[in-house]
Amino acid sequence: MRFAPGRSMSLALRIALASALFGLVVAAGAVFAGYWTLSQQLDARSASDLQGRHELLVHILADMPSVQAAAGSQDRFGDLFFGHDDLHLALVDPATGQMLASNSAVASHSVTALLHATAAPETTHSWVTSDGQRFSGMHGTVAVADGKPLRYYLSVERQRDSLLLAGVVKATLVVLPLLLMLVAMGAWLTARTGLAPLRRFNRLAASIGTKSLDQRVSMAGLPGELADMAIEFNGMMERIAQGYRRLEDFSGDLAHEMRTPVATLLGRTQVALSHTRTAAQLREVLEGNVEELDRLSALISDMLFIAQAEHDAKPIQAQAVDLAHEAKRVAEYLSLVADEKNVRVQVEGAAPPVTADRLLIERAITNLLSNAIRHAAAGSVVDIELGSDGLAATVAVTNRGETIPEAHVNRIFDRFYRVDSGRARHAGGTGLGLAIVRSIAVAHKGSITVRSTGGLTTFTLSLPGGAMPG
């Protein structure tokens, strides 16, 4: 149970010390209660024995012919003192105060103690002498055969009782520390054994880093509750590992996306500064730089939007939104882009109104429609179909073009993910349009799904009707 200075004690050691302290308190209480109980029993036994000796003494004195006869009647008290060498008797003439008889020097001391204690007659009184000896006794007056009074002082030594109580205390002082050590050791061993799985958890958690997130706790030999903890811990580690991998992927993608415009800006600027340029040439360079800066600005803006949406940093401005009206507005806004691609956009159907942030819904539909136009085949039609599945209002955007491979469908809403990265970057996208749509859907407690087959690709945005969830 060693522990280094300056380090906190182990949990097992703290449990052992706490058990020892608790055991000390309990043992001290038990010893005190036992001592008090034994003392009371010894007092009761002594009082009962003394009462019996007193009754016999009164009987003997009542048969004595006269007070003066007490001085020569030692043989009369044989039965009284038989087997009681710790019993002391003094007889006093109350008329003269003369001590008529005593069986020991202690008897005279008992007379003094009982007189000074002003003990009531025929009641038991206990006292301790200056040298630590315990006594119990009683006194009284009895009429002898001729009718005259005779005073008696009967006392008994309690030395055996004192030795017995002292022996109990000594034995306790010897045994108690050993008992407490055994309790502490037992508690320490029990706690150390029981906490072994937790120490495994602790060592594993301490060893986990960015390169060891795939470590798991073995459940072999674990009891039921700790096995459940291990399952929960492993699940947590899996989620952390997945999050870390997503963060790594996102960091790499973000660096890649920002590196291209930054490299372009740097290259153009360095070329422009390498030779003397005319005003027209410098203007052309600056115009190209503005395009790249616009791309960076859009990228940063989209990233901030996603971060705010996912962490509820920007509250939703809820209001009643007519999805058909918003879809038509977006279609009209993007009509010039569609005409350039030789694509026609049509809006059909109806959907129940939803309580949502109108600007966010408009942005989601804009991203879906611009994505559909970008990937639609020339001369085709992009359909915006409004409807309801009974629980939520839906906006389905369908374009005709290349089918999205199954391997890409599950990742198409990830940040910076592109089915055709080269073509998408050339078209000016940031790779965040669909990720933004998903963030908007999640912020509204809705969903976004995609289905692509036979040259038709449909993105469906579902939004719950009624009041916005709190």
Say whether both 337 and 286 belong to one domain. Answer: no
Give the end of a domain, one of 156, 173, 190. Answer: 173
The one-letter amino acid at 322: D
Q: What is the pLDDT of residue 78?
A: 64
Say whether both 286 and 169 belong to one domain. Answer: no
CATH number at residue 241: 1.10.287.130
Strand, helix or coil for residue 383: strand
CATH number at residue 39: 3.30.450
Q: What is the pLDDT of residue 466?
A: 46
Say whether both 284 and 333 belong to one domain. Answer: no
CB 463 within 8 A of CB 441: yes
Give the end of a domain, one of 136, 151, 173. Answer: 173
Q: What is the pLDDT of residue 124?
A: 82
Say whether both 292 and 369 belong to one domain. Answer: no
Say whether both 293 and 326 belong to one domain. Answer: no
Count CA atoms within 13 Å of residue 14 on its CB side. Answer: 6
Containing domain of residue 164, as a range? Answer: 11-173
Count of domains for the chain: 3
**136 within domain boundaries:** yes
Question: Which stretches of 63-158 are DSSP H helices?
Answer: 78-81, 105-116
**441 within domain boundaries:** yes
Q: What is the pLDDT of residue 120?
A: 75
Q: What is the pLDDT of residue 5?
A: 45
Q: What is the pLDDT of residue 321?
A: 94
Q: What is the pLDDT of residue 224?
A: 57
Say whether both 145 and 15 belong to one domain. Answer: yes
**134 within domain boundaries:** yes
Query: Rounded to an integer, what distance in angstroms lies between the CA atom of residue 231 and that of residue 237?
Result: 10
**191 within domain boundaries:** no
Closest CA to 461 of 453, 444, 469, 449: 449
Say whether both 146 and 230 belong to one domain. Answer: no
Strand, helix or coil for residue 207: helix
pLDDT values of the chain reduced to their tens digit, one per residue, 470 residues: 444 444 556 777 787 788 778 877 887 888 888 888 888 888 888 888 888 888 888 888 888 888 887 776 666 776 677 767 778 888 888 888 788 877 776 777 777 777 766 667 878 888 777 777 888 888 888 888 888 898 888 888 888 888 888 888 888 888 878 877 887 787 777 777 766 766 666 666 666 655 555 555 555 555 555 566 666 766 776 777 666 666 666 666 666 667 777 877 888 888 888 888 888 888 888 888 888 788 778 777 777 777 666 666 566 788 999 999 999 999 999 999 999 999 999 999 999 999 999 988 999 999 999 999 999 999 999 999 999 988 899 999 999 999 998 888 888 888 777 666 544 444 555 678 898 899 899 889 999 999 999 999 999 999 997 434 44
Question: How much is the pTM?
Answer: 0.48
Q: Would you say the C-alpha torsion 279, 285, 289, 290 has a positive or negative sign?
A: positive
Q: What is the pLDDT of residue 423?
A: 46
CB 187 within 8 A of CB 131: no
Q: What is the DSSP string of 261-314?
A: HHHHHHHHHHHHHHS---HHHHHHHHHHHHHHHHHHHHHHHHHHHHHHHHTT-S
Say whether both 343 and 452 belong to one domain. Answer: yes
Say whether both 254 and 114 belong to one domain. Answer: no
Query: Rounded to an integer, what distance in angstroms lies between the CA atom of residue 200 and that of residue 194?
Result: 11
Give the end of a domain, one of 158, 173, 188. Answer: 173
Structure tokens at 256: 């890649």
**218 within domain boundaries:** no
Say whether both 17 and 140 belong to one domain. Answer: yes
Q: What is the pLDDT of residue 290?
A: 85
Say whether both 28 and 168 belong to one domain. Answer: yes
**185 within domain boundaries:** no
Say whether both 264 and 396 belong to one domain. Answer: no
